Structures are given as structure tokens and as C-alpha cells.
Amino acid sequence: MDRIETQASGGCQCGAVRWHVTAVLDTSHICHCRMCQKATGNFFAALIGVPRDAITWTRGQPATFASSDKASRGFCADCGTPLTYDYHDSGQINLTTGSFDTPALFAPRTQFGLEGRLPTFADLPIGQEGTTETTMRSVVGAISASNRQHPDHDTPRWPD
């Protein structure tokens, strides 16, 4: 992953959480996996990696949901805007591309989590990296073992 020096800011819909970055990684992507779909309430998540030393929270801090023992999802506690995907053992944090003030600067270059991709998006004009199982082989077991995502069906109570 190449580090790209930049100056960019962003934040949530209501403005309670704002951040500034001085670098991004060349990892701008969309993820179709079911966890990303549920975390964003959308067909996929658009994300870009940012080195941890390159982000400054300039107003507020994101609230977090521990989606597994290995990762958390950050969001604004006031308006609910999805802001981050944070795999804790990584040297980076992923920001939602749409939360940048100028998201067009970081157009997605590739796509992951193809097992969850809706047929409507089969012909996107960007690269395809594979399923979650193949692209995250080294961590998918640990994340799956502690997955806190509600199943895709009604349950009498939650959590079980």
C-alpha cells in the first residue's frame, strides 16, 4: 500500500464529529460483504485506508460498535452517520469515503466482498479483488468467531 500525502477533511452529517487527514493509502474501495452492507444500511460500503498517524479528530469523536473482537465500526452518536471501519491490529483506520468533504477525490479503485454483491452491481467499471474469505484470509476466522452482527432473520430476542 502506498501512502499518498494529502490534505482532506470530513465528518458526519450533523457536524458533531469532524476529522482531518494528512495522508491516505491507495486503498480506496467498496466492500459488498454482508457486514458492510448492514453497517452502512446500503448495498456496499465505500472506504479508504488512512494511516493512524495521519488522522486528527478536530471535533468530537465517533461512537463505536464492536462488530467483532477484532474490529469496530465508528459512527456519529448524534446523527448516525457511518464513519469508520477499524480493524484493531492494523496500522490504518478506514474512513467512509462519502464522509469526506470532497469524496470525488478518492474514487474507489477496486471492490471486495464479492460474495455479497447484488447482481445489479456486477458490471461496475472497477477491479474485483474477490470474496471476503479470499481477500481477508488471515483475519476472517477471528472476526467470524466473535461476530456480533444480528442474523438476517427475526429472532425472539437478541443477543442470544
pLDDT for the residue 103: 96
> Does residue 126 belong to any structural domain of this protein?
yes
CATH number, domain containing residue 53? 3.90.1590.10
C-beta contacts of 76-79 below 8 A and 24+ residues apart: 76/11, 76/12, 76/13, 76/14, 76/16, 76/17, 77/16, 78/12, 78/14, 78/16, 78/17, 79/12, 79/13, 79/14, 79/16
Provide the domain limits for residue 24: 3-145
pLDDT for the residue 41: 93
> Does residue 155 belong to any structural domain of this protein?
no
pLDDT for the residue 145: 62
> Does residue 97 belong to any structural domain of this protein?
yes
pLDDT for the residue 77: 97
> Does residue 67 belong to any structural domain of this protein?
yes
> Does residue 133 belong to any structural domain of this protein?
yes
pLDDT for the residue 124: 87
> Does residue 157 belong to any structural domain of this protein?
no
Query: Domain tally for the chain?
Result: 1
Q: Please state, in angstroms and rounded to a whole number, the distance separating the CA atoms of residues 68 and 89.
A: 12
C-alpha cell at 104: 470525488
Would you give the DSSP letter of residue 134?
H
> Does residue 87 belong to any structural domain of this protein?
yes
Would you give the DSSP letter of residue 28?
-
pLDDT for the residue 68: 85
pLDDT for the residue 131: 60
pLDDT for the residue 127: 77
pLDDT for the residue 128: 77
Written as one letter, the residue type at 62 is P
> Does residue 158 belong to any structural domain of this protein?
no
- Tell me the sheet residues that pair with 30: 46, 111
Q: How far is CA 10 from CA 62, 76, 132, in A?
A: 12, 12, 27
**Residue-by-residue pLDDT tens, the chain, 160 positions:** 899 999 999 999 999 999 999 999 999 999 998 889 999 999 999 999 999 999 999 999 999 999 888 899 999 999 999 999 999 999 999 999 999 999 999 999 999 888 999 999 989 888 777 666 665 555 556 556 656 555 656 768 766 6
pLDDT for the residue 134: 63
3-state secondary structure of 51: strand
